[in-house]
Every structure is written in C-alpha cells, then in structure tokens.
Structure 1
Amino acid sequence: MEDSRSWSRAWRGAAACGMLALSLGAAACGGGAENEGTPGMLPEGAEAFSLLGEPLYPNPAPAEVAAEQARDLREARADYDADPNDADAIIWLGRRIAYMGSYRDAIEVFSEGIEKHPADARMYRHRGHRWISVREFDRAIEDLSHAAGLVEGEDDEVEPDGQPNARGIPTSTLQSNIHYHLALALYLKGEFETALDSYEAYRAVTTNPDQLVAISHWWYMALRRLGRDQEAAAVLEPVTTDLDVIENTSYHRLLLMYKGELEADDLWDPASEDPAGVAIAYGVATWHLYNGREAQAEEMYRRILQGSGWAGFGYIAAEAEIARLEDGGA
C-alpha cells in the first residue's frame, strides 16, 4: 500500500457497493484481492482460501448486531478522518472493520498504521492476528515476532476490549496478545516445539485467571503433541475449579476436562456456531488425538468444519489438522 490514499480508494469502493460503511456486507466488496501463499485470485466477496482450498465468505450477523457494528464503524471512521495520523484512530478503525468480517480491508488499515508508526507494536500485533484469520500464517509469524521484539523489556499495557465482557473488565494486555497469537500461528503450522518459547513469554506476563487458562490450554496441547506429558501435567497444576474466569470459560472447562474433573462427552458440541463452543470442540477432538484415538479425532475435526464459523481459532485449528492429514502429515 503506497499510503493512506490506497485505503481511501478501498473505502470509497466499498461505500459505492453499499457495504462497508453501512452493514456487515462490508467484506463482500473485497473481491479480487490476491491471497499470497494460495494460487490464483480470490473469488469476488471472499476473504480467504481455507487450508483445504475452499473460498471463505463473510457470514452475515443478526440485524441488531450488524446495526451496532455499523454504528461503531462510523464512529471509528469519523475519528480517523479527524486525524488520519493518530495511532489509536488507525487501530480502532482496523479493529472495527475486522469485527465486521472484512479482514483484508482491516489488514490494509493496519499496514497504513505500520507505515505511519513503524515502532508501534500494536499495529503488527493486530495485523498479525488478521493474517491468521485469512490463513497466512507465515506473515502472521513475521508481524508478531517483530511486535515481540518491539515490546521486549518494555512495561506491559492493558489492551482495551472492542467487545467488552459482562463485567467490563479488560483481561488481556498488549504483550500477552502478541505472544498468544504468535504461539497460535506456530501451533497452526504444526511447529509445536517452536511455539513453546511464546507460551513461556506469555506466562511471564500473565496477571489474571483469564490469561492463565487461555495460554495453558494451547500450551498443554502443544506439549502433549510433542509427547512431553509430564511437562503438560505441570501446566495444569495451577488450574482449579474456583478460578475467577470472566471470559475464557471455554478454555477453563477444557483444562478441567484434561485434569479429569469434567467429562469429554459433556463438552463436545460440534453444532455450536459460537467461537468458544468451536474452541471446546477442537480441544475435545485433539484430546482424543494425542490419546491415540486418531480416527475419532479426524471424524470430530470434520464435524467441526461442517459449521460456518471459519474465523474462529478452533475452526482454523481443525482445518489445519485435516489439511495435514490430507497432505500425509501427522
């Protein structure tokens, strides 16, 4: 992207097709964008190709949610127009666009932010997250690794929620989100050993139960995939039923299941369209995988992929598992 003019052109094009500025149909205006790492051009309206080669299209939100998101986007756009060089305005514009499912447009906004604020780790953190959404894991790893370098030795900061929880208490920080998404991108590539450093880095900045259960879930699975069962068991030790978890209750329940305190069958719900429910389904399926029930795990992964929540991390992870199986990998 040469400068903010290219984003302005993208915005005007979206507005002309009556989408991005007005409704959740925003992402449909992104057709024709090239998805590097995947042959060919994206079909009109698609945001990405799945790891199995299928085009992925935005899912419409309920009318009430769509109206609220459109309002939030208009406010973010107004703040950006008032000062296009303001880092916070750029970040919130990109975040609001991403919440509407228009990941390619969000990536372009964060790219503009990187050009204007190359030392601001937040730009790389958010762009890295959205590279994961569109299945471009190498780009995500590059951005998130750079962000990790920028914040090394710096004080951490609370990251405000774009979609606040019921208590209105933010539970994540800039550094925890950088390390979380970096570890996730590596995990999705099957680079479980390499991901361990990012889990350690996340644990070093963990300050609340939500952070603890979020990282412990993926960390535990990576260690089990590596056959390092004693280390995996140690990850579970701080997890108890009485943890005051605000947001990440799905991860908390999975960890209790790994400890034998909940039944896997009680958690398994492949029909869930909620990202948290899909994350639970993926965790249960993978528990069967590293406990030697590969055929059952594969069947469960394929059940997950029958859903429509393709942007959720549990869905992407299930997709990555099937892609590896179809490529003959472990």
Structure 2
Amino acid sequence: MIVMKHVALIAAGCLLFVGACSSGEKNAAASDSSYQAISALGDTLYAPPLTPEDERRFESELEKARADYENTPEDADALLRYGRYESSLGNYTKAVSLFSEGIENHPKDARFYRYRGHRYITLRKFDDAIDDLKRSSELIYGSEDQPEPPLAATAEGNEETRRTLHTSIWYHLGLAYYLKGSYDQAQNALEECLRLSTNDDTFVAASYWLYMALRRGGKDDLAGDVLDPVAEEMDILENIQYHKLLLVFKGVFKPDMLLEELQNSDALEYATLGYGLGNWHYINGREERARELFQKVYSGEHWPAFGYIAAEEDLSRLFSQSS
C-alpha cells in the first residue's frame, strides 16, 4: 500500500504543489477503511510499503502478540505489544484503537497515552497528541524512569534499546508542539527531555528538534548554546542522522557531504536528512532551496517519518501561498 498523491500545478514556473485534492476526494478516502490519514496537503495516506522480509517478520510477530493478548486480555504489556506491532505494519488507526482500549482498562498506565500520542502525531492529529502526552507526563510525575523494551522483530537492530518512558514522553510532546508551530512550548518540553537524557542518542534527538525550535522562534543565541556540547565523537547507536545534522548546524560538517549521502539513503534516512538540510537552508534565508528539499522529502514514501511530517507541515504553512 502506498501514498496516493493528487498533484496540481499552481502556476507556470511555480512549485509543483502535491496534495490539492478536493473535499469530495477526502470524503471518499474517509470511507475507505484501509487509509490511515490525510496529509496537510490533502493527500490520502496508506500504510507505507515494507520489504517482503520485514512484512513477513512483523506479521509473524503480530500473530504472536495478538494471541498473547487474547489469552490474557487483562495484561497491559500484552495489549501494548499488540498495538505496537500493528504500528510496525503501518496499521496506525488500529494501533490507536488498541492503545485507547489500554487507556480505558489501565487509566493510570502512562505508556498507553505515550504510544497513542506518538501515533496521533503519525496521523496528523497534533492537538490529540499533545493532550495524550501531557496526560502521560502527569502520570509519570514523581515516578522512576523505565526503559522502553524493544520489539522482538527489531531488537537485532538495537532500535529503542536506549529509549526510556520519560524521555520519550517529553520528546514526542516537544515534537508535536514543533509541528504545530508552537515553538516556545516545544522548547519547554525538549529542554525537559534533555534534562532527563542519560545517553547520547536521546541527547542528540532532543537537541536536534530543540535547536530548530529555537531558531524558528528567533532565539538564535540559545540555539547556539544547544550546539556547544555536540561533538564529533559521541556514542550514537540509532540517531546517526540527527547527530550529523547537528554537526552541520555547528559548522563541523559541510552540507554537501550529507547531500551526497542523501542520494544513497533509504526512505527514512532521506526524510530525516532532507528535512534537516532543508530547514538549515530555511533558517539561513535560502527559502527556495528549502522548499525544493521539503518537496523532495514529501515526494518520498515514508510518510510516518518525523522529517516527512515536518516537511509536509512547512510546505503547507510556509509555502502554500507562494507563487
């Protein structure tokens, strides 16, 4: 399943603006149970494609998770795994319904609000995401942080092994505010994530979005302070692209080095690097180059990626009236 794009040429010599679908098309999409979301530019979004190997692996793990849940429906961990595996297959609306069930059955378990908030971001429901993530931050107040266990299907890639519940909540809350253009609130949440970070992976992820929120909010001096602790040699397992982009912002790497890497990157890496480089051009006054890179990101397939969502929102908010 893929992203269905409706393309309209705004004017000769102008931006090829993706996503100008009519309200009738949106209503038709809403009646299609297989679609996941509507983008800020009006495109119907379907579960992104997986490699055959990943699809088989995730489906196998999903069946196990579903069976565990059906055998022990009162087990919060089983329900959480079930929802997370639905997310792995791109079934985000189904995952949200499972996390909602978890909230109903385990209203004091902050994890269900955390994961539902994350998936509300994926589904472009930023206000709902903020409500959930704020609620989860209240539920964890005064409690000890805990690691977020990796899913079995992704453990060999070290994914999520460094994430914790508290840092994930504040990170995603900051991201949701950033995507709404609420940069002061994003700053507050991401600073809290930084304060709680205990490893370089969470540190660079929070620093990346915090730097951009500060620059977008006109707080350039504070943004410069964010870059001071960033070094070339850091212990990074998963947030390699964020680290490289921070080094570009700091002036250690030249952006052309990442542009070359961009050509050989996968869809997720392309969304991350493409948006980061585009935003670097934007905050330095090169709006046409920024728009070009945002458009290339939006033309990709990995629409759940945070870089993709940010590029989409910027194309809608910053450039939709351009001519």
CA deviations over 1:229-258 (Å, ceiling 9, x no partner): 111111111111110101110111001111
CA–CA separation in structure 2 for the residues paired with 1:146 and 1:211: 21
Per-residue deviation, 1:93 = 0.2
SS at structure 2 position matched to 1:48: strand
Q: Distance in 1 between matches of 2:318 and 2:271?
A: 20
| Match of residue 18 from structure 1 | none
Matches within 5 A, 1:245-284: 245-268=236-259, 269=262, 272-284=265-277
Could you tell me which of 176, 183, 204 is aligned with 1:185?
A: 176
Q: How much does 1:272 deviate? A: 4.1
Could you say if the C-alpha distance between residues 211 and 258 of structure 1 is closer, same or farther in structure 2, counting changes exceeding 3 Å?
same
TM-score (normalizing by structure 2): 0.87
- Conserved? CA contact 2:167–2:196, under 8 Å: yes
Aligned to 2:284: 291
Residue 7 (structure 1) aligns with: none
Deviation at 1:169, TM superposition (A): 7.6
Change (3 A) 1:277 1:292: same
Q: 1:90 is matched with which residue? A: 79
Matched, 1:106 2:99: no
Pairing of 1:37-52 with structure 2 (within 5 A): 40=27, 42-44=30-32, 45-52=34-41
Confirm or deny: 8 A CA contact 2:80 2:99 kept in the other structure.
yes
Percent identity over the alignment? 42
The alpha carbon displacement at 1:226 in A equals: 1.4
Q: In 2, are the aligned partners of 1:271 and 1:307 still within 8 Å (CA)?
A: no
Question: Once superposed, which parts of structure 1, at least 4 consecutive aligned residues long, lie more than 6 Å away?
Answer: none
Give SS of 1:47's match: strand
Q: Which amino acid aligns with 1:42?
A: A
Indicate if the aligned counterparts of 1:250 and 1:277 stay in contact, CA closer than 8 A.
no
1:140 is the counterpart of 2:129: yes
CA positional deviation for 1:271: 7.4
Tell me if structure 2 keeps the 8 A contact 1:272–1:278. Answer: no
Question: How big is the shift at 1:82?
Answer: 1.1
Bigger mean CA deviation after superposition, 117-126 or 56-65: 56-65
> What is the match of residue 5 of structure 1?
none
Give the superposition deviation at 1:121: 0.3
The code of the aligned residue for 1:243 comes to: M
Q: Are residues 1:221 and 2:212 paired?
A: yes
Letter in 2 for 1:292: G
**Offset of residue 62 of structure 1:** 1.4
Q: Is the 8 A contact 1:80 1:89 kept in 2?
A: yes
Residue 272 of structure 2 aligns with an amino acid whose one-letter code is A
**Out of 285, 294, 313, which is 1:320 matched to?**
313
Aligned to 1:176: 167
Residue 59 of structure 1, CA deviation: 2.3
**Structure 2: where are the runs of 5+ without partners?**
2-24
Aligned to 2:20: none
Q: Which structure ranks higher in relative contact order (CA pairs < 8 Å, sequence separation ≥ 6)? A: 2
Alpha carbon RMSD of aligned pairs, Å? 1.8
| 1:124 alignment counterpart | 113
Q: Distance in 2 between matches of 1:271 and 1:74?
A: 34
- Within 1, Cα distance between the matches of 2:264 and 2:228? 31
Gaps of 5+ in 1: 1-24, 26-37
2:54 to 65, 68, 82: 65
Distance in 2 (alpha carbons) for counterparts of 1:139 and 1:271: 36
Give me the TM-score of the superposition, normalised by structure 1: 0.85
